[in-house]
Structure 1
Amino acid sequence: MSELYNRIKTRRQELGLTVEELANRMGYKDKSSISKIENGKADIPQSKVEAFAKALETTTAYLIGIDEEKERAVKVPPGFEPLPEMVQVPLIGNIACGTPITAEENIKQYIGIPAAWRADFALECHGDSMAPRICDGDIVCIRKQCEVETGQIAAVRIGEEATLKHFYKSGEMVQLIAENSAVCPPMIFSGTQLADIKIEGLAVGFCRGLL
């Protein structure tokens, strides 16, 4: 039972609660009741363990020490979502959302993005050919890979230039298609031109308003 008492005290301190505040949550009139429990000088019935777990915003499993990973129940207010795990990736240059521009690969800074994207680097977009999905000034995050599925958005190198487009390949022909064809008509490559086409990676997410 000492594990239970220790965890009650530890969890109370983690939440920044005083002994009196926890006593109020539990409905105890005398705060000394909590002190006695935390010091192992008073037993609590099994029925009270669940009440303590609720008051301490955790689980009964955690309090009695049977959950190996010590998972805590997290209360998320309505309308809010927990912040995802974040990682830092390098912003290494610019990419065209329009006519291809000269590729740059100098690290400008590091930016935080969701780890779930599994991106390797980020690029700043210029142009409106991928609008309204991806706009001028947006940051697009790229996962390095040399192939993408048809229709996916890819960072594509054309010789010494780079562009962001939907990638389509049919036989010996590659088409790079913009979201906004009025800004940038389809780019079609075939034959010996294919030697200049290289997929740098798949667009896995974008950020707006970071810069």
Structure 2
Amino acid sequence: MDVGERIKYRRKQLGLSAEQIAAELGVSPATVYRYESNEIMNMRIDKLEPIAKALCTTPAYLMGWDDTADVHASDNDAGLCYVQYAGPVAAHFNATPTEEHEFRCMPSEWLGHRRPEDFFVASVDGNSMYPHFHDGDDILCLRCSDMGHSGRVGIIVFGNDEATLKRIDYQPGEDWIDLVPVNPEYQTKRIEGADLEQCRVVGRVIKVIRTVDEA
């Protein structure tokens, strides 16, 4: 990819509009489109620096010198970072999340001392975890393979990549786990014995990200 294609690819990867990038750079959206179409040729490295900052990447990536697009959260002077979005995950059973090349922007302080790549964001699909989790909520999850202790809420994948968001109950040393909904209209699902070999925890919920429309 050339410089313009990398600018466009990175902008779309982050889920940002040309208008948002234009506002960050203090230029018009038309200028952003000119960058992306390479109408502005021989762009100097000092011109690329603010563009790279707005895209949370480096001039070296935009120039094609480095294939690593992401920068560490502490490198973002605005106190923001970008966490990978993994698509919807069911708050019921029989749904499969998709691995999309998108990111969600959020305050770096939400991550504590961890790196953005230690987390992912998923969207709640369904009502079995209502009222703690609403259909359409985004959830920030810490990547992990173990819940640490019983009773935490996490995402578990089993079978043919079937995934669900549930409270995960278990007793150490016993060969069963319960996937427990919050909504009493839904039933607990127990997985035990040999079926446990088909299960894996992929994340523990850290924060619910909810937009409330007060209009």
TM-score w.r.t. the length of structure 2 is 0.54
Is 1:180 the equivalent of 2:186? no
Alignment of 1:50-69 (within 5 A): none
Distance across 2 between alignment mates of 1:210 and 1:101: 26
How has the CA–CA distance of structure 1 residues 113 and 167 changed in structure 2, closer, same or farther, with 3 Å as cutoff?
farther
- Give the % identical residues: 21
Partner of 2:164: 163
Is 1:110 the equivalent of 2:104? yes
Find 1:198's aligned residue among 181, 195, 200: 200
Deviation at 1:210, TM superposition (A): 8.4
Distance across 2 between alignment mates of 1:210 and 1:142: 21
TM-score w.r.t. the length of structure 1 is 0.55
Which amino acid in structure 1 is aligned with residue 141 of structure 2?
A: I
Q: Give 3-state SS (helix, strand or coil) of 2:127's partner.
A: coil
Distance across 2 between alignment mates of 1:161 and 1:113: 30
Task: Specify every segment of 5 or more residues in structure 1 that has no aligned partner in the other structure, as ranges.
Answer: 1-83
How has the CA–CA distance of structure 1 residues 115 and 88 changed in structure 2, closer, same or farther, with 3 Å as cutoff?
farther
The structure having more radius of gyration, on CA atoms, is 1
Runs of 4 or more, structure 1, over 3 Å off, are 116-119
Q: Give 3-state SS (helix, strand or coil) of 1:115's partner.
A: helix
Distance across 1 between alignment mates of 2:90 and 2:150: 20
User: Contact (CA 8 Å) 1:139, 1:210: kept in 2 or not?
Assistant: no
Distance across 1 between alignment mates of 2:109 and 2:181: 27
Q: What CA RMSD, in Å, does the superposition of the two structures yield over aligned residues?
A: 2.2
